Chains A and B, each alone.
Chain A
Amino acid sequence: MRTIILFENLSLFELQQYWWMIIALLGAVLVFLLFVQGGQSLIYSLGKEDKHRTLILNSIGRKWEFTFTTLVTFGGAFFASFPLFYATSFGGAYWAWITLLFCFIIQAVSYSYRGKENNFLGKKTYDAFLFINGLISPVLIGIVVGSFFTGSGFHLTENYSVRWDSKLRGLELLLESQNLILGLAILFLSRTLACLYFKNNIESKGLISKVNKSLKINSGAFIGFLLYWVTILIFSDGYTVNSDGIVNIEEYKYLHNLLQLPINSAILIIGLILILVGIIISIKKPNYTKGIWYSGIGTVLLIFSIFLLTGLNNTSFYPSTTDMQSSLTIKNASSSHYTLTAMSYISLLIPLVIAYIWYAWKALNKEKISSQNIKNEYKY
């Protein structure tokens, strides 16, 4: 009997699946951490008063590095494990990724600069930067993830050099309604999670009563867009790859995946239920603060299972709409056995990373943020 922990003993395909799961996990954690962006997109509606805006930004401002770092690690892990995707999507959907980058550059500095004297652009401009990042980033990330299902127009040369077939270089992804719906679902999910996080982390009756109202609207919109997207997905065709590596279109591919991957479907349903539990209890009990944990864990499970749906069960996770055989699968886009093995050993550090993040998070969130206690602290 072989020892599972020795990654060398796993086949290339097993390692590819393992790494797709790591990507799925990072993607899922990233979407959960987008509550920071969701919160930023609410600063004009919830933070009309300066004291409320200061509370909001000091609450989520202590977590922005996690979202940022997870995005960087997500990119790095994709590069290392599925470099052909990195070369194809990043190089091809140029404008989508560059826009996302711009959104993140202006975010990082805005927290640091907004409250500082002599900051050149003024507090209002940095707040506007945060709002732009909060509004656009979740939509763009949703659109890019949406393209895992709808595909893009590209083809590969015999040496795997990528040729993008649309002159719009990524802007065409915005025109695909299915992508846009997922983008909007992610935006409203991030805003919902932000509301739940504020309830957990901020001490201010006036602000929390506004948060409760906002939670109803944003969670309603999220559920609406998500159900719409799932319905489209169930009835849509997908790209399947056979044992010879030949890609074909399969009717109801994602419905088949749901049926053929029962554990994954169970994770998806549990995730959805947990999200709803967190939302419903928080709406019913205005003083309830733990909704973020239900909905947060639910979000991680839901997004994790959505990623698996697009990469496992012989599915092309990045279909080419102009040259079917150029479609990317976890088999043809991955790194070598050696690299995936080496990387797998590094991945064993992930539980340790999660443990210290958890510990630090708990230490900082021991007491809620209030106008009183941030007076004496470093603040944004």
Chain B
Amino acid sequence: MTEYTDISTVDWSRAQFALTAMFHYIFVPLTLGLSFIIAVMESLWVKTGKEEWKKATKFWMKLFGINFAIGVSTGIILEFEFGTNWSNYSWFVGDIFGAPLAVEGIMAFFMESTFIAIMFFGWEKVSKRFHLTSSWLVFAGANLSALWILVANAWMQNPIGMFFNPDTARNEMVDFWAILLSPTAINKFFHTVLSAYLLSSIFVIGISSWYLLKKRHISIAKKSIIIASIFGFIVSILTVYSGDTSSRDIAKIQPMKFAAMEGLYEGGTNIPLVLTGIITKNKEGIEECEHSIKVPNLLSLLTHLDSDAYIPGIKNVIEGYTSHEGKRFLPIEKRINKGQEAILALKEYKFHKKNKQTEEMNKSLKIFRENYEHFGYGYLNTPQEAIPNISLTFYSFHIMVSLGFLFILIFITSCFLIYKDKIEKYRWILWINIICIPLAYIAIQCGWIVTELGRQPWVIQDLMPTKVAITDIDTSAVQTTFWLFAILFTTLFIAEIRILMTQIKKGPQS
């Protein structure tokens, strides 16, 4: 598969996909969480009949609508880019990866797009209850959509429930439920959607705080803060919990990524938790964390609920190690050799099959099966290629976690002050609430950087390196489309921000 691989095409294809995914994910989290807040507000309107709830619902819905269109339009590019830029990937795992995308379309997108039309245009055309049901179905559709795409992403991080078919040279699904209900998928779904709800709560609190500072729309702003701070507090606690289970899962299935997140070069037992630190290159030329503030034994404790537990570092993953559970992991060098044996065995299998040499064919297949778990390593040139970008992964992870805890404080403070009806008196807190809006976006983007950059060089963990997954295409073509997308996205982003700011300035009454 690699005979045509051009590294510059790989880099540009990655850049294009990262650009699209990061731009897309500016808008998606707000859709996921704001739809819930809107549905709750509308429920309160239907229940109490108070017009202020309706006004608040319509206002947040307007912001939701501006955000929704751009999220949808960038989503379609991601789906199609799997084909346009990652065609080897599309065949190698299309049997598994395509299914969640199709299910997403059938189950979620139609639900979302159908009921969003009712949500915006149906106020005077359908009953109150039907309209409310539509608002809840928009929330359900958006979150169902997230479920399926995250199941697909989780499978790339933890490929299970499949079998490699040497005749078709691809992985084929054998257990749909194992893919859907894998711990990685469950953790990923909950952590991602909860963090999206968290961002939406911060967004609502921040904008409402601005109104309080300006002494405008005070009643609606306070009502919005009540809903968002309670919701935000609950989801932030759940986000911490899902983050913790997610990290433990990563430690088990992606030890290199885990080591990169912690900047841990040399592992061992009783590993401390790094609160903060600086990444520098060591004697071997590999990045690791130094000058750090640490809590003794805590990483071992959090990861394995045992302060004496062993955790491998980057060096250990490269050189081979025995995990806390007692499983032996081979050095990368050996895995590369075994991966190459698997690739060669597949080639020989095909050759013998073509020549109808059954015995030799079975022999090659046996060698292939024995070495398949190392298949992807056969495409790596050196063990060092298995190391992701440590500094970006480390800093992104620590920024995300630190901001997450800051947001919990914000929710607690807002809950308390709104309960005491004193929030307007603390103008500096209102300002912090506003500043938290961009910080929430930074945190959520950092989360995806950890997920996607930390798992490099793999597009499918241990089975397919990213460089093998690309389409055979000239670099210049991908460069051109990268810049076209960059210009278009920047233009649309400016338009989006300006429209959003104008609508916020106008406020709920307009």
With CB as the reference atom, state the residue of chain A lying closest to B66.
A112
B95 touches A353 (CB 8 A): no
* A376 CB to nearest B CB, Å: 7
A136-171 interface (Cβ within 8 A of B): 157-164, 169
Does residue B360 face the partner (Cβ distance < 8 Å to A)?
no
Q: A161 vs B91: C-alpha distance in the bound complex, in angstroms? A: 8
* A264 CB to nearest B CB, Å: 24
B477 interface neighbour in A78, A94, A113, Cβ under 8 Å: A94
Residues in B whose Cβ lies below 8 Å from that of A335: 94-95, 98-99, 172-173
Q: Per DSSP, are chain B's interface residues mostly helix, strand or loop, or mixed?
A: helix
Residues in B whose Cβ lies below 8 Å from that of A347: 106
Q: A76 vs B80: C-alpha distance in the bound complex, in angstroms? A: 9
* A68 CB to nearest B CB, Å: 6
Q: A116 vs B503: C-alpha distance in the bound complex, in angstroms? A: 9
A339 touches B95 (CB 8 A): yes
B115 interface neighbour in A87, A346, A360, Cβ under 8 Å: A360
B503 touches A98 (CB 8 A): no
A108 touches B69 (CB 8 A): yes
Q: Which of B124-132, B181-189, B238-246, B373-381 is found at the contact surface with chain A? A: B124-132
* A221 CB to nearest B CB, Å: 29
Q: Which of A118-126, A174-182, A222-230, A269-277 is found at the contact surface with chain B? A: A118-126
B99 touches A160 (CB 8 A): no
Does residue B425 face the partner (Cβ distance < 8 Å to A)?
no
B105 touches A76 (CB 8 A): yes
Q: Which of A36-44, A49-57, A99-107, A308-316 is found at the contact surface with chain B? A: A99-107
Does residue A366 face the partner (Cβ distance < 8 Å to B)?
yes
* A111 CB to nearest B CB, Å: 7
* B167 CB to nearest A CB, Å: 10
Does residue A91 face the partner (Cβ distance < 8 Å to B)?
yes
B160-177 interface (Cβ within 8 A of A): 165, 168-170, 172-174, 176
* B95 CB to nearest A CB, Å: 5
Does residue B311 face the partner (Cβ distance < 8 Å to A)?
no
Give the number of chain A interface residues (Cβ < 8 Å).
77
B173 touches A336 (CB 8 A): yes
Does residue A28 face the partner (Cβ distance < 8 Å to B)?
no
Give the number of chain B interface residues (Cβ < 8 Å).
85
A79-B102, A121-B491 given; A73·B110 CB < 8 A: yes
Does residue B471 face the partner (Cβ distance < 8 Å to A)?
yes
Residues in B whose Cβ lies below 8 Å from that of A353: 106, 110-111
With CB as the reference atom, state the residue of chain B lying closest to A116.
B499
Does residue A80 face the partner (Cβ distance < 8 Å to B)?
yes
Does residue A216 face the partner (Cβ distance < 8 Å to B)?
no
Does residue B103 face the partner (Cβ distance < 8 Å to A)?
yes
A73 touches B69 (CB 8 A): no
Residues in A whose Cβ lies below 8 Å from that of B117: 62-63, 65, 360, 364
Residues in B whose Cβ lies below 8 Å from that of A339: 95-96, 98-99, 172-173
A162-B472, A163-B472, A343-B102 given; A105·B109 CB < 8 A: no
Q: A74 vs B495: C-alpha distance in the bound complex, in angstroms? A: 30
* A363 CB to nearest B CB, Å: 5
A90 touches B94 (CB 8 A): no
Residues in A whose Cβ lies below 8 Å from that of B94: 79-80, 83-84, 86-87, 335
Report the 9 A-B pairs with minimum CB-CB distance, sorted nearest first. Answer: A83-B94, A90-B83, A91-B87, A73-B105, A80-B98, A79-B98, A108-B73, A65-B113, A112-B69
* Besides the known contacts A69-B110, A119-B498, A364-B118, 4 further A-B residue pairs in the complex with CB atoms under 8 A apart: A72-B105, A113-B495, A158-B169, A161-B87
- Chain A interface (Cβ within 8 Å of chain B)? 62-63, 65-66, 68-69, 71-81, 83-84, 86-92, 94-95, 97-98, 101-102, 104-109, 111-113, 116-121, 157-164, 169, 335-336, 338-339, 342-343, 346-347, 349-350, 353, 356-357, 360, 363-364, 366-367, 376-378
